[in-house]
Amino acid sequence: MRLPTGGRIDRSTPVRFTVDGVTRTGYPGDTLASALLGAGVRQVGPSVYLGRSRGIVAAGVEEPNALVRVGDEAMAPATTVELVDGLVAETLSGRGRLAEPDRGRYDKQYAHCDVLIVGGGPAGLAAAATAGRSGARVIIADEQPELGGSLLSTPDATVPELPDGIRVLTRATVFGYYDHNYLTIAQRRPGGGRLWHVRAKHVVLATGAHERPMVFADNDRPGIMLAGAVRTYLNRYAVRPGRRVVVCTTNDSAYATALDLLGAGAEVLVADTRAQPPAVAAEVRGLGGEVRAGAVVVGADGDPEVTAAQLSDGTTVHCDLIAVSGGWNPAVHLHSQAGGTLRYDERRAAFVPEASRQANVSAGSAAGEVDPADPQWTIPSPAGTLHTHFVDLQRDATVADVLRATGAGLRSAEHVKRYTTIGTAHDQGKTAGVNTLGVIAEALGVTPSPTTFRPPYTPVSFALLAGRDRGDLHDPARVTPVHAWHVERGARFEDVGQWKRPWYYPRAGEDMTAAVLRECRAAREGVAMMDASTLGKIEIVGPDAPEFLNRMYTNAFAKLPVGSARYGMLCKADGMVFDDGVVLRLAEDRYLATTTTGNAAAVLDWFEEWLQTEWPDLRVYCTSVTEQWSTIAVVGPLSRKVIAAVADVELRFMTFVDTTLRTGVPARIARISFSGELAYEVNVSGWDARATWEALYAAGEPHGITPYGTETMHVLRAEKGFPIIGQDTDGTVTPIDLGMDWIVSKRKDFVGKRSLRRPDTARPDREQLVGLLPVDKDALLPEGAQLVADRVPLTPPVPMLGHVTSSYRSAALGRTFALALLKGGRDLLGQVVHAPLGDRVIAATVTEPVFYDPEGARRDG
Amino acid sequence: MLLIRCPWCGVRDEVEFGYGGAAHVAYPADPDALTDAEWAEYLFFRDNPKGPFAERWVHSAGCRRWFNTVRDTVTHEFLEAL
């Protein structure tokens, strides 16, 4: 019921809000919860598992029951939702439903400060005033719309002004405390939010305390609320949640609630568990209230809402509200997240900060300055049952559930938590945690010990964490200078690392299979071209560059003549293949190494690590030139004619020349083949790439030049048995496993060489790269398919021989084929293996991995 | 989120750095002279102390230089260079 006067609400402009289809009015300054209570509504959504009626319990983030969905906010306690005109909410039963899509606007902001103060209550305000006057850079963050904390719930209290120059963040919840005083803050803003990342020299944790419910029979009835919350509703929102009230307390704090209730015209009976009530009890009696010492509520009557409280003295007191205070838990979440330790304070029956690990200090209630309490972990009921003694309202977990866990032998609170799910709901056990630990300790006859607090303090939406890093902004897309041409020609693209690479170029009516077969035929029989600009390119320069490459690559580069190119392979120190690519020698002291598209940065890092940490004496510099050069591959028996039309060059296989095209564009043309065909790579500056691409295309049109994408490139190289590092290898494959003994130098050391004669790397039954020809020439093995030996019964467990790494349809072979890693594969040549695929089995013959032109007759056209 | 002092660029956020594991594990001068066990020791075995740990970092998103430091693996405090 709304009181006629008082509260921090603006009564001049009532606002309308709708919950579950019913429209009511409240005031600016209300939360959704206070507006509901003001309108006489205490019940919210029923409990998640048991379907029991539930009501509003708290007035802040610790609220376990009143979950609502509001706009894009999938799940929020109504006690934290600010009332605005036209607000529409629906009550939830412990489960939210994400908005699809979240239309909110979320941003990030980074900040530094000398002092970050968490919490704008009396302790935080005092800290801010002191720090601000010292000239320090101060940020104070508070989760409420205005500073004040508990002052906002105290009659006639004024919130002190802060000195100028302090950055005040309201509606801002500090939810994470990470290493080196790095804190994250979720700030609610109209239509979205802002995620703050703050690095602070010092942190003051003035986070206050959360009140504990009391655990008696049917303690979940609507109309049972925390005493401090009742006081907040009375004083801050001018809402009286009940008229006949039983206040049940273990400590002095609830007397303030009793007095304020009496002042608001309620009838009050205080049941104080302690034999000696405090002096303030006389004040309560003086105002017409009753105080019973050594009394406690043992059960609640009423269904669904409370109609009476059963007291331990055997009486039943009719009431419409039971306000409980089981004691206060300092909000030590951030202190604990920061690595600080906690100790159990016997007098307060609560965990308080013991020692900080980082530069932070707790102040006020958060430091343990809360009223001493008389712990009542489980209040026996006359009936002797415990299955309606709720400890976690959000998880519908009771004392009976906890005792089932300890009865099953669980002693650790962490285990009990996992067994019962207590503390794992939306509220993360803010009201349930310490009561549960008390019940466990009582059951085991030990002192309560704390669990670890982890971020976030309150739930944070993924939309906030993502900010603008969504959709197109999630990851940069890298495109080559020729990209627009590919788009114009209808290319389908695939992502390779961050690159968008043409995958294939379908013609009208073509599917991918038809397009790729056509592109492959063009490369094998005529001429085709591909944008290879995404290959990583690193210039390696310096007098010791030859020696450096000799140490890094499995094969030798010191004697590679200037003007020549050589395929090279890199291993990690464990002997496993890391990357490969062609290396050009540009000058005595200058090489250009190409890498796979996805590994360009990793290879550069690898080179620099060795140069800096192992061989600082080598005079070598590495520079990425991936973006500086665009590369166009021209492939096929007719490629020589196309090149001749644009440049005047004669090149032997694996040589290159720096020249000028007939268009006047400087270019580096190399004869390198990744398909086995006569092929060239034309390298030009990115600025000239599109024009050069078009010049080559025009020169090739009389010969039917065909642009092709990565899929055709993969088929062509697989027909030649060239592995793709990262597809046919997975970090457990040596050059020997690939059958590439020829690339491993016997004469020099290189990174990884010693590993190749480790017993494990020399095992004969290692997985080795082989070819597979399906017995049915039209059957396409799925990549990744597991392979089993011939005549092995397919009843589990079935011994696995390996798996398919690449699989395609080949225009040149007129059939399907595949590459695979097979245990002892070199010894299985000619044998049949099987790929069991659930509903069918594909049989395939093991072959050499080179399917096409094994003699290499085609590379000169 | 650690605050790491790059000897060249000063104190920067952890996101700018790459981690390089234990420091002072030198590449053997003559790998061929090592037994399999000795080579395996170099490749695979590292201390994992609770407390001070000499380790390598690289300022990947800054000057790209490698450096050594000592970090307490319990408190994450840097005992050198911060």
Q: Tell me the per-residue pLDDT of A783-840, one tens digit each, with 9 for 90 and over.
A: 999 999 999 998 889 999 999 999 999 999 999 999 999 999 999 999 999 999 999 9
Question: A611: distance to nearest CA of chain B, Å?
Answer: 10
CB pairs under 8 A between A and B: 50
pLDDT single digits (tens) A261-289:
999 999 999 999 999 999 999 999 999 99
Of A181, A573, A759, the CB nearest to B43: A573
Overall average pLDDT of the A453-457 stretch: 95
Overall average pLDDT of the A90-110 stretch: 89
Q: What is the CA radius of gyration of chain A?
A: 37
Among A828, A188, A146, which residue's Cα sits nearest to residue A460? A188
Closest residue of chain B to A750, computed from CA coordinates = B31
- Rounded to whole angstroms, the Cα distance separating B9 from B61 reads 11
Of B1, B20, B66, the CB nearest to A182: B1
Q: How does residue B82 score in pLDDT terms, banded at 50, 70 and 90?
A: very low
pLDDT at A762: 85
Residue A404's φ and ψ, nearest 5 degrees, are: -65, -40
Q: Can you say how many angstroms the Cα of residue A70 is from the centroid of all Cα atoms in its chain?
A: 24
3-state SS, residue A846: strand
Closest residue of chain B to A177, computed from CA coordinates = B1
Q: How far is residue A46 from each of residues A42, A50, A421, measured CA to CA in Å?
A: 12, 8, 18
The contacts of residue A16 (CB under 8 Å, 6+ apart) are A23, A24, A25, A85, A86
C-alpha triplet A146, A148, A152: angle, nearest 5°: 95
Among A449, A671, A434, which residue's Cα sits nearest to residue A563? A671
Please name the helix (run of DSSP H) or strand (run of DSSP E) that holds residue A524, with its range, or none: helix A512-525
Overall average pLDDT of the B37-46 stretch: 96
Q: Which residues of B touch A608 (CB under 8 A)?
A: 58, 64, 66
Per-residue b or e along A655-690, where b marks 16 or more CB atoms closer than 10 Å to that residue's CB = bbeeeebeeebebbbbbbbbbbbbbbbbbbeeebbb
Q: How far is residue A63 from each of residues A67, A428, A458, measured CA to CA in Å?
A: 8, 10, 11
The contacts of residue A471 (CB under 8 Å, 6+ apart) are none
- Rounded to whole angstroms, the Cα distance separating A226 from A296 reads 15
pLDDT at A451: 86
- Rounded to whole angstroms, the Cα distance separating A788 from A834 reads 5
Among A391, A349, A373, A432, which residue's Cα sits nearest to residue A62? A432
pLDDT at A68: 97
Question: B17: distance to nearest CA of chain A, Å?
Answer: 12
Among A511, A446, A542, A536, which residue's Cα sits nearest to residue A725? A536
Kindly tell me if the per-residue pLDDT of B80 is higher than 80. no
Overall average pLDDT of the A449-461 stretch: 93
Which residues of chain A approach chain B closer than 8 Å at the C-beta? 178-182, 199, 339, 357, 573-574, 605, 608-609, 612-614, 749, 753-755, 758-759
pLDDT single digits (tens) A521-547:
999 999 999 999 999 999 999 999 999
Overall average pLDDT of the A612-636 stretch: 97
Residue A744's φ and ψ, nearest 5 degrees, are: -100, 110
- Whether the CB-CB separation of A118 and A125 falls below 8 Å is answered with no
- Whether the CB-CB separation of A209 and A365 falls below 8 Å is answered with yes
DSSP track, A129-188: HHHHHTT--EEEE-SSSSS-GGGGGSTT--PPPPPTT-EEE-SEEEEEEETTTEEEEEEE
- Rounded to whole angstroms, the Cα distance separating A570 from A558 reads 15
The contacts of residue A50 (CB under 8 Å, 6+ apart) are A396
pLDDT at B28: 95
- Rounded to whole angstroms, the Cα distance separating A262 from A265 reads 5
The model scores a pTM over 0.95: no
Q: How does residue A306 score in pLDDT terms, banded at 50, 70 and 90?
A: very high
Question: Is A393 exposed, middle or buried, given 0-12, 13-18 or 19+ CB atoms closer than 10 A?
Answer: buried
Q: How far is residue A424 from each of residues A332, A419, A494, measured CA to CA in Å?
A: 17, 11, 41
Q: What's chain A's average pLDDT?
A: 96
Q: Which residues of A touch B43 (CB under 8 A)?
A: 573-574, 755
Contact assignment for B58 to A609 by CB distance below 8 Å? yes
Of A179, A339, A609, the CB nearest to B2: A179
Contact assignment for B66 to A755 by CB distance below 8 Å? no
Query: What sign results for the dihedral spanned by CA atoms A30, A36, A42, A48?
Result: negative
Kindly tell me if the per-residue pLDDT of A659 is higher than 80. yes
Q: How far is residue A590 from each of residues A580, A623, A659, A685, B27, measured CA to CA in Å?
A: 19, 11, 18, 18, 26
Contact assignment for A755 to B34 by CB distance below 8 Å? no
pLDDT at A641: 97
- Rounded to whole angstroms, the Cα distance separating A861 from A851 reads 18
Q: How does residue A191 score in pLDDT terms, banded at 50, 70 and 90?
A: confident
DSSP track, A296-334: -EEEEE-SSS--EEEETTS-EEE-SEEEEE--EEE--HH
Contact assignment for A339 to B56 by CB distance below 8 Å? no
Kindly tell me if the per-residue pLDDT of A99 is higher than 80. no
Q: How does residue A71 score in pLDDT terms, banded at 50, 70 and 90?
A: confident
Of A181, A199, A609, the CB nearest to B66: A609
pLDDT at A143: 97
Query: What sign results for the dihedral spanned by CA atoms B14, B16, B19, B23?
Result: negative
Per-residue b or e along A715-739, where b marks 16 or more CB atoms closer than 10 Å to that residue's CB = bbbbbbbbbbbbebbeeebbbbbbb
Q: Which residues of B touch A758 (CB under 8 A)?
A: 36, 39-40
3-state helix, strand, coil in chain A (%, to 5): 20, 30, 45
3-state SS, residue B15: helix
Overall average pLDDT of the B33-50 stretch: 96
- Whether the CB-CB separation of A768 and A739 falls below 8 Å is answered with yes
Per-residue b or e along A490-513, where b marks 16 or more CB atoms closer than 10 Å to that residue's CB = ebebeebeebbbbbbbbeeeeeee
User: How far apart, in Å, do the first and last CA atoms of chain B sit?
Assistant: 15
Contact assignment for A180 to B3 by CB distance below 8 Å? yes
Structure-token pair, residue A75: 């799940």
- Whether the CB-CB separation of A304 and A43 falls below 8 Å is answered with yes
Question: Is A331 exposed, middle or buried, given 0-12, 13-18 or 19+ CB atoms closer than 10 A?
Answer: buried
Q: How does residue A227 score in pLDDT terms, banded at 50, 70 and 90?
A: very high
Residue A592's φ and ψ, nearest 5 degrees, are: -120, 115
Q: Which residues of B touch A357 (CB under 8 A)?
A: 75
Among A325, A317, A320, which residue's Cα sits nearest to residue A306? A320
Q: How far is residue A730 from each of residues A387, A633, A822, measured CA to CA in Å?
A: 54, 27, 13
Please report, rounded to a whole number, the percentage of residues in chain A having pLDDT higher than 70: 100
Overall average pLDDT of the A41-54 stretch: 96
A726: left (phi over 0), alpha (psi -120 to 50) or beta: left
- Rounded to whole angstroms, the Cα distance separating A525 from A858 reads 11
- Rounded to whole angstroms, the Cα distance separating A1 from A5 reads 12
- Rounded to whole angstroms, the Cα distance separating A555 from A565 reads 13
Q: What's chain B's average pLDDT?
A: 94
- Whether the CB-CB separation of A658 and A668 falls below 8 Å is answered with yes
pLDDT at A103: 84
Question: A490: distance to nearest CA of chain B, Å?
Answer: 37
Q: Is B39 on the interface with A (CB under 8 A)?
A: yes
Write out residues 41-70 of B within 8 Å (CB-CB) of A. 42-43, 56, 58, 60, 64-66
